[in-house]
Structure 1
Amino acid sequence: MFTVRTPRVVAARRLHRRRDRDETGRFLAEGPQAVREALRTGVVTELFATAEAARRYPELAQDASLVDDSAMQALADTMQPQGLVAVCRQRDVPLATVLSGGPRLIAVCVDIRDPGNAGTVLRTADAAGATAVIFAGDAVDPYNGKAVRSSAGSLFHVSVVRARDTAGTVAALRAAGVQVLAADGYGDSDLFDLDEALSMPTAWLFGSEAHGLPKDLDADRRVRVPLYGGAESLNLAAAAAVCLYSSAKAMRGA
């Protein structure tokens, strides 16, 4: 049984650091839901399980290396691990590959820094039928442990694109015939007045909660979600859900 000092455990533990994830092209997926989806996708390179988890999830852990509780605690990113951690290949896809497939719906996270928000947008985009989620500019690492957990397995369902050049990404989307809509609480267009426009291939831009989207970003429209009560604004995850599902509804009816 592997311990916290076993070289393979030591190597996997390093993937808690972004630098090591970037250098190796690997990341950790924790818990039965994430491991199940990672196995289905075929990106797992190594799997660790406690003896208890192997008994509880035999269909997932049949090829796992058994580790003791201390090793699992070191591999996991949660206070109460569920006993399964997979080392996975990162799933980055070039933007050109996504665009060549004629995407209908894309979410673009611009400079967002919170990994929980990143994972939630991945999950929402997957549920709404989006083709890809683009992490643009100085965005959080989508393979951060909290982002992976928050995606609830959806990280393995949608294409993930990382692009440092936000303006170049927007230009490429528009050149491919994808309209670019910026979610902006002060936008000139009301989301619920855009049913016809939303039926077109669309990339939604979402900015950080702290700073929003850059004002000089060249979107086709800046769109606000109408607020009917006393709330000052919606958080990023809620705004993304409303916008993506509004597009999904319009596209299904087109």
Structure 2
Amino acid sequence: MLSGETLANPRSDRVKAVARLSGRPARLRAGRFLVEGPQSVREALRFRAADVVQLYVTEAAAQRYAEIVAAALAADVPVTPVTEAVLAAMAGDDATVNPQGLLAVCGLVDVPLDEVLAARPRLVAVLAQVRDPGNAGTVIRAADAAGADAVLLTDASVDVHNPKCVRSTAGSLFHLPVVTGVPLPDAVAALKAADLAVLAADGAGRTDLDDLLDEAETARTTGAPALLRGPVAWVFGNEAWGLPPADRALADQVVRVPVHGHAESLNLGTAATVCLYASARAHR
């Protein structure tokens, strides 16, 4: 059961300060971002409780998601009861957003690339010029599902703390390290120096993903070398125009996902999932 005074004024300074975190300038100044909804809040408390600064919850949500409130209190996260109107104001002007009675404020989750590479990752997803927050969140979720060790968003990609991106990860944002703000050439150089092969996923690729999978399957029984069986970083570009030639040139190989039917192409999330799972299978 919640205690303390319920925050009820949607126009209060405190509510406005939380709502401003929907915008990147406010996030950068405060070093905090919004996490909305039971799934994402639950995972934040489960995996990154030390980064959760505050939990706001309606009375109905406190009863329905009592285990989330209990987890917050157990982690010494302040829990503030709010009205539905206040929670809606905190979530911003997007009428499609439904936080389902729960909203948390968290510290930014990005980590340094050096820290990721020191752990000797075997599978990394790199997002280059991925501007759509929904696409970025979907790739993070796919990387998590495939068992990737980290995700890197270049300086030309969307802010991973964008509310739509956070929602699209469905909690995966808190499951694996995320690096942000590194220029692609610097990222590729660091990944190669850490002995990861860098593969650019693009429809213009000369290498067919099926051929790499065949090579890996043969190597499983013969012991021959195979690219996918080693540490790999996959680079994914913008859904609309893919990877420009200069970005493709940075990779060790440019790999295309075969299209066997009449579809013009795959969307970014699907292509990324196929590539990441190909590496995951080869690593088994």
| Mapped contact 1:15–1:27 kept (Cα < 8 A) | yes
| Mapped contact 1:163–1:169 kept (Cα < 8 A) | no
How has the CA–CA distance of structure 1 residues 134 and 79 changed in structure 2, closer, same or farther, with 3 Å as cutoff? closer
**Deviation sequence 1:204-244 (CA, Å, 0-9, x none):** 00000112112112100000001100011101000000000
1:113 aligned to 2:131? yes
What value does the CA root-mean-square deviation take over the aligned residues?
1.2
Q: How does 1:43-192 map to 2 (within 5 A)?
A: 43-62=51-70, 63=73, 64-76=79-91, 78-192=96-210
| Percent of residue pairs identical | 54
Runs ≥4 in structure 1, deviation > 3 angstroms?
77-81
Query: Could you tell me how far apart the structure 2 residues matched to 1:96 and 1:106 are?
Result: 13
**Deviation sequence 1:71-125 (CA, Å, 0-9, x none):** 1111225443300000011111111110111000000000101111111011000
Amino acid at match of 2:22: H
Uncovered stretches (5+) of structure 2, i.e. residues with no partner: 1-5, 74-78, 217-225
> 1:212: which partner in 2?
242
| Mapped contact 1:124–1:241 kept (Cα < 8 A) | yes
TM-score (norm 1): 0.96
1:221 aligned to 2:265? no
Query: Could you tell me how far apart the structure 1 residues matched to 2:27 and 2:155 are?
Result: 18
Secondary structure of 1:139 counterpart? coil
Query: Could you tell me how far apart the structure 1 residues matched to 2:183 and 2:166 are?
Result: 23
Larger radius of gyration: 2
- Measure how far apart 1:8 and its partner are: 2.7
Uncovered stretches (5+) of structure 1, i.e. residues with no partner: none
- Measure how far apart 1:9 and its partner are: 2.1
Secondary structure of 1:86 counterpart? strand
Query: Could you tell me how far apart the structure 2 residues matched to 1:157 and 1:6 are?
Result: 34
Could you tell me which of 14, 18, 22 is aligned with 1:12?
18
Q: How does 1:211-250 map to 2 (within 5 A)?
A: 211-217=241-247, 218-250=250-282
- Measure how far apart 1:5 and its partner are: 3.0
Query: Could you tell me how far apart the structure 2 residues matched to 1:91 and 1:31 are?
Result: 18
Query: Could you tell me how far apart the structure 2 residues matched to 1:55 and 1:219 are?
Result: 51
TM-score (norm 2): 0.86
